[in-house]
């Protein structure tokens, strides 16, 4: 079964874990490593003749347009990750609209490709911010991959469907929601979608989870990671102990774990994996 491989393009200092110590106004003062880190990701994928979906921050596209052009020229799918990593539920409806419209326009202008997909920073479309889906529909997005059906201190909608679902938003239209992958164990959804979970959980458990989704539940997995998770030389930021743990734990093991998953499972873009659903 073909699974979806997705990459969220942001720099190491832009993450929500360090938002309390790194303000948006100071982003330009930090050493940027996103171009080199993304080039490493593209080399990894190219070595396996593999295509993926890249959710790109509008700010990164604006300041590093070569990244967008390189991703597009390598035949990958281009999608939107918002402009400057502000959480969806921290924005008003008008602010959210401005954010996605701005970033979508920047990315499409650079790539020359239509942007049909969106992922909120830190999976911040939750039960309380489902209104964001209405704005996405109005702004021309065909799918969203922002809902993580788990319990988490920053995000999560544990009662939401674990699998892709077409949502009919009354009076607005339809959008395909693609939740991040979980397995159901002991009455709870356990995340296997990648990112910090890729770094923290044993690789054999993640392999079991993807295999269970594919063979038993007959569902594709949706896996994600960030380029900075392959960058072992990135500067260490000063945040809370918990934030530093989340960001740096097992970062030296990311590349090897990704290689193993890529070698053992089939991956492609969201547009490939969900082509039939996106036609509806």
pTM exceeds 0.85 for this model: yes
| Predicted pLDDT at 154 | 85
| Predicted pLDDT at 181 | 98
| Predicted pLDDT at 267 | 98
Strand partners, 79: 55
Please name which of 224, 255, 47 lies closest in space to residue 120, comparing C-alpha atoms: 224
| pLDDT < 50 regions, the chain | none
What residue spans define the domains of the chain?
Answer: 2-12+31-232+247-279
Fold held by 2-12+31-232+247-279: TIM Barrel (3.20.20)
| Predicted pLDDT at 171 | 86
Locus of tokens 């544990």? 158
| Predicted pLDDT at 280 | 63
| Predicted pLDDT at 138 | 97
| Predicted pLDDT at 185 | 96
Q: pLDDT tens for residues 216-270?
A: 999 999 999 999 999 999 999 988 998 999 899 999 999 999 999 999 999 999 9
CA 194 to chain centre: 10
* Rounded alpha-carbon distances, angstroms, from residue 107 to 37, 41, 73, 100, 246: 19, 19, 14, 10, 29
Please name which of 119, 83, 113, 115 lies closest in space to residue 7, comparing C-alpha atoms: 119
| Predicted pLDDT at 33 | 98
| Predicted pLDDT at 58 | 98
| Predicted pLDDT at 279 | 81
Count the alpha carbons within 13 Å of 53 in the hemisphere toward its beta carbon: 29
**Cβ-proximal residues to 63 (8 Å cutoff; 6+ apart), any chain:** 32
């Amino acid at each position: 079964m073909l699974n979806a491989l997705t990459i969220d393009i942001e720099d190491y200092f832009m993450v929500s874990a360090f938002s309390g110590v790194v303000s948006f106004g100071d982003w330009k003062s930090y050493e940027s490593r996103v171009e080199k880190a993304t080039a490493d990701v593209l080399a990894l994928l190219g070595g396996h003749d593999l295509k993926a979906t890249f959710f790109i921050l509008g700010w990164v596209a604006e300041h590093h347009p070569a990244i967008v052009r390189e991703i597009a020229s390598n035949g990958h799918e281009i999608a939107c990750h918002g402009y400057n990593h502000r959480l969806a539920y921290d924005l008003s409806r008008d602010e959210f609209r401005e954010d996605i419209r701005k970033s979508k326009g920047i990315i499409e202008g650079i790539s020359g490709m239509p942007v049909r997909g969106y992922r909120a920073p830190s999976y911040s479309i939750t039960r309380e911010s489902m209104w964001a889906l209405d704005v996405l529909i109005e702004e021309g997005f065909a799918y969203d991959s922002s809902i993580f059906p788990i319990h988490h201190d920053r995000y999560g909608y544990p009662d939401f469907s674990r699998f892709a679902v077409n949502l009919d938003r009354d009076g607005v239209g339809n959008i395909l929601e693609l939740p991040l992958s979980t397995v159901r164990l002991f009455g709870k959804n356990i995340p296997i979608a990648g990112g910090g979970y890729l770094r923290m959980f044993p690789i054999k458990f993640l392999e079991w989870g993807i295999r269970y989704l594919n063979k038993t539940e007959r569902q594709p997995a949706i896996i994600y990671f960030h380029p900075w998770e392959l960058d072992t030389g990135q500067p260490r930021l000063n945040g809370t102990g918990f934030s530093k743990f989340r960001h740096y734990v097992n970062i030296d093991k990311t590349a090897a774990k990704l290689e193993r998953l890529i070698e053992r499972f089939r991956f492609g873009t969201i547009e490939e994996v969900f082509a039939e659903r996106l036609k509806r």
